[in-house]
Structure formats: structure tokens, C-alpha cells
Amino acid sequence: MNKDSNIKIYEVGLRDGLQLESKILTVDEKMELFLILQKANVDDMEFGSFVHPKLVPQMANTAEFYRQIQNYKNQENLTALVPNLKGLEMAKEVGVTSVNYVFSASDTHNQQNVRKTTKESIESLEYLSQFASDHNIKLNVTIATSFGCPFEGNIPQERIMNILENLLSYNLNKITLADTTGMANPKQVYQLTKEVITEWKNFNLGCHFHNTRGMGLANILASLESGITTIDASLGGIGGCPFAPGATGNVCTEDVVHMLEEMGVNTSINLDRLIQASHKLAELLGHELPGQVAKAGKSSKLYPIPKSTLI
């Protein structure tokens, strides 16, 4: 991995992170987190989703929240998840200029999530892409279960390559391969991402990993070794997919930034302020978070030598 590369961290805590929390944060509480993240120089984030509030009540105040934050930084760096055209229309109504459309490589998971086959979700891109283009909205796509499905098991690499080839005809800003339930391993990650980058050098490709089985950071490192430069992460390590069993545990943003900084890789993020944001998040949610660095501190932190108790 080239240490001179500038790795972009795409913060998903305000959407993917909060969607599994039992406590629903108010707009003011989300604003507290947003402002600390802004001070930490977190430039790109997924701030919410335009989904049915009965399905994901944690995102019911997304439109109101966006009205509060849209003038604090470049709108193009604030992205909302949309599951369909209705969600895209709702995003457009409040002025959102960047959206993320998610579907699964696994037919079974896609049926559980959006009641469509993978093929049907890809076909929906025809009118989603046209609508986004007509209204100057950047359209990103995330392919969930790219590294494994909790219902179907292994997803063949050939299937992912075929899906990506089908996406070439659409005007997409970025494509993200997502390990939705933490089933990926570093060898698998390297092989798939390397093949994609080799096949389509001009793809703006990112990766999204979960730490469900403790391999999140290792998988991120494997993806960076293959040439990936954009990584999703969630403040405090919270979140997961509400439509898949055992899908808790996004990779923690401050743990990722700490690892990269220790390796001499630039992320442009202020780690100290990021840790402050994680502590604020724990305070707002009322429980301990999965992330490690916010608990232990940076590895550069030194401690005084304990006084001897010997007489």
C-alpha cells in the first residue's frame, strides 16, 4: 500500500450506525454529533435515509435533520440512502444532491430487504439514474452481501463481476462493495477487489465492512492493499443491517483512522476530535460502544510508572 495515498473515510454512523439503536436521537442530538464530526474534519458522510418510518423509525427525522446541516458544508458531501424512486423523490424535495441506492448481490437478502430480486433492483436503476441525472443528483450504488449472505452463504465472485458489468451503462458516481453481515475474510477481499480494479480501472470503487466476527480492520487493510482508497466506517462501531440476523457491528471509524495513522497513511481526520465524537455518541445513546480506541486511547499515549508498593 502506498503511504502517500490519501484514504477517504466515508462516515455512515448517522445512518447505518443509528438505524439499529433502540433510542431514537432527536434532530438536536444528531446536530451535536454532526458538529463534532465537522470539527474532526470528517468531510464525507451518509447522514440519513429516506425510508418508511414504520420500518426504520430512527430515520424518520432525516428530512428535518438535513435542513439543519445542509449549509454547514458542501452539499455534495452529504449523502442519503434511498431504497427506491419514492425515496429519491423525497430526497430531492428537501434539496439533497447525493444519494446512495442499495441492493443485494443475494436474491434472498434482497427479497428480505426490498421485496425484489437482484435483477429487478438493477432494472430499477434505469429510472433512478434518469431522475438523478435530470435533477443534478449524484447517484451512488452499494452492493450488499458482496462477500457472503446469511441465507445463501457464499456469493460467487463471478456473480459480483456480472452485476458490476450490468452497472456500467448507468451514470454512477461511486460503487461500494459491502460485507453486510461480516462474512468476508482478507484473502477473499483482496482477490475480489483486485480483480475489479484490474478489470475496470476507472471505477470509483469503495468498500463497506462489518466487524461482526472481528475481521473488519483486517479486511479493510486487504482492500487498501488491492488499491481501494475509499472506506466506509461508523462512529463508535455501531450499526448493522436490520434485515439480516447477526448483522451488528460496522467497523469503527476511530479504530480505522487510528490504524491508518499509526501506519503513516493520511486520512485528513483529526483523531482526537473523532474520539470526542465517539464519547458524545455513547453519552447520547446511554451505553458503551464497540469501538476500542475510544476506550483505550491512542497507542502513543504514555502512562506514569506506578509507584512501587514494596517496603
In the chain, the amino acid numbered 200 is: W
252 is a catalytic site residue: no
Neighbouring C-beta atoms of residue 120, cutoff 10 Å: 14
CA nearest to 144, candidates 191, 177, 98: 177
Given the residues 149, 207, 241, 252, select the one marked as catalytic.
241
Q: How far apart are CA 272 and CA 279, in angstroms?
A: 11
**Positions marked active-site:** 241
